[in-house]
Structure formats: structure tokens, C-alpha cells
Homo-oligomer: A and B are copies of this chain.
């Protein structure tokens, strides 16, 4: 293998795939980036077996030469050092040449780097996925759906299935759900698919979705998504992102969300966020993050929290709308903040069915998002 390539393009592709290289590989090859060179271009791949990312650099783009290939070939280079050194090479032109035993020479300006390369034959083989049944989503919508659901996924690895986000598709409606048993986030959207295309129980790790999100441009351009038996493939321009789906059956959450309420509030999202944020500062001292919401006589509400050592924060807020019974309820202020931060609407609806029942939070201007928070049972 021998080629010269643009440092800028090489660096960009390396940054895209490097996240999939294992930072503490059980075997060295999993901490590597595979470089495949053909006369068409250069393919970089990293894989920790859970996720795999592949990026393709063509030899030419828009009549501009990006790479010049003297001799095709393959090699695997240790990711951590390779990622950092390419960024810092002195010249915009980088030459890479692989010799016997995968010894690799990287040359740029007056810098010479000899790297111990690994055998590409030992690199994990990417899952083969049939591209028949794919659907498409605008990148910005995919990012929004991820951002608005991952917050409720569990971080406790003892219940692996709950560390994921449940994807389902039916009647051209795509739905994401995440819950850690204390709170739930759900988001729906219309998808561009065949009317009879459907799937269920596709659960993808929340942290994988966060990584995927970083690779998706914040634009309306379409992302291809292929859901296979135990893998999902995302195609974002020249980048392929493969992820394993989590094993197990996701619990049925359909009955958790109340549809009738005894108390209904509409509040200004920013005012409520700021008030809860201040109460959170106090509640944090008690570790429990308990904040109380109390309805007042005149259609206002009071948010309060207290700490025996520090004192007490009391906030008054005007409700835009207030229907139903008076209420006093306690909940985790951090959970509420997590929800308020991802709701993009100016006003929110909060529905209660009593001090011990799930709290439902929704934007007022559409019904794509639904959030549920379980209240605290407090003696006071």
C-alpha cells in the first residue's frame, strides 16, 4: 500500500470513525483503525464490535484531487496515536506506505513516523445487512428525536434493556421511547416509508444514539436507516454507522401514561425552568433533589425546596391556565429540569392525577413529545 492524501480530508474521516475504536481494547486490533486503499479511494473503519463506523474518502471530489494511490492495500493502525498525530502533521500532504509485516511509514514535511501496523485480516468483519427495507429521515429530525428521549434512559447497566431507546414503526409513524422506571420520554414523528413497513422492539443503546447524533449534520438532508435482525445501519453521506440492537424485550410502557387528569396547568417554559433551577440548587444539598409544587388560591403556583443546613427557596409563578383540583406534589427537580431543557415550545402543559400518580408533561403546540415523571411519596 502506498498513497499520498490530503491531511485535512484524512483527519476529518479519522475523527468520524475514531469514536468506534475501543479506548481500552481487550485485544489490540479493536483499538485500531483499518485503512483500505483502492484506486477509487480510502475507506477507514473502526469497530468495538458493538458499534462500527466507516468513512470513505474518494480519490477525487468536485474535480479536486484528494488522494493519489500508487499501490492499493490494507493495514490497521492503533487509533489513539494515529488520531492525534495526523492532526499535528506539519504539511497538508501526507504520504503513507506499508512495508513488510505491516510496518507503516507516514511522511509529512520533515516528519517521519514509523508505526507498528496490525494485520487487517484480524479486524472484525462488518455485519452484512440487506439494503432492501430502508427508510429515510431528515438529519435534524433524527437529532431532535434522540435529544428528546435519551435523557430518560437508564444509566444502570444492571437492567441493560432500559439503557436503550425503544424504536418502533407502524402506519408510517416512528416512535422513540425511553424509561428508567422513574421517568419516561416519548417522541413520535412521521417517517417516509412504505405504508406496510413496520418494526417493533428495536432497542438501541442511548449512548450509541448520542454518538450517532454527533455525526449527523444539523440539516434537513436525509439519513438512510436500515433495520435488520440484530443490527441497525445509518448512512450519513460518506459515513456508515452500524450498531448492534440490545438483547431482550422492552417493557410495555403504554399503560404508564395517564390520559385523564385531576389538575391541569399551562406554564411558561422558561419561567418554570428558571424557578426549578433555583429550587434545584437548594434541593441538591439534600441529595434527594426533592422540590415541591403547590397550587395557590389565585391561579398561581409555588415551587419550593428546603435543606435543613442551608435554608429554603420559595418561588411563585403565574399559571397561564389552571383547571381542576388544588394540589401539593413533590418530585425530583433534576428529572423535571432534564425534560424542560429539551422541550422547544414556549409553553408547556402539566397534568396531574393526584400526589401519588405520574406527572405528565407536554408541549402545548403539538403532541409529538410526552414526558412522565413519577412523584416522590413524602410525609410532608
Contact = CB atoms under 8 A, between A and B. Distances in A.
B81 A315 contact: no
A41 interface: no
A314 B88 contact: no
Nearest to A310: B81
A15 B311 CA distance: 22
Interface in A104-158: 104, 110-116
A116 B81 contact: no
Nearest to A306: B114
Contacts of A81: 281-282, 285, 310
Contact of A78 (B84, B88, B113, B310): B310
A182 to B, nearest CB: 25
Chain A, interface size category, equals: 20 to 34
Interface stretch (A226-234, A272-280, A352-360): A272-280
A110 B281 contact: no
A314 B116 contact: no
Interface in A289-334: 309-317
Nearest to A104: B311
A140 B110 CA distance: 37
Of A115, A282, A311, most B-chain CB atoms within 10 Å: A311
B282 A315 contact: no
Given A81-B310, A84-B281, A88-B278, 7 more contacts: A85-B313, A88-B274, A113-B282, A113-B311, A113-B313, A114-B313, A115-B310
Interface of A: 78, 81, 84-85, 88-90, 104, 110-116, 274-275, 277-278, 281-282, 285, 309-317
15 contacts: A81-B282, A81-B285, A85-B278, A85-B282, A85-B313, A88-B274, A111-B278, A111-B313, A111-B314, A112-B313, A113-B282, A114-B312, A115-B310, A115-B311, A116-B310
Per CB-CB distance, the 5 closest pairs between chain A and chain B, nearest first, are A115-B311, A112-B314, A110-B316, A114-B311, A114-B312
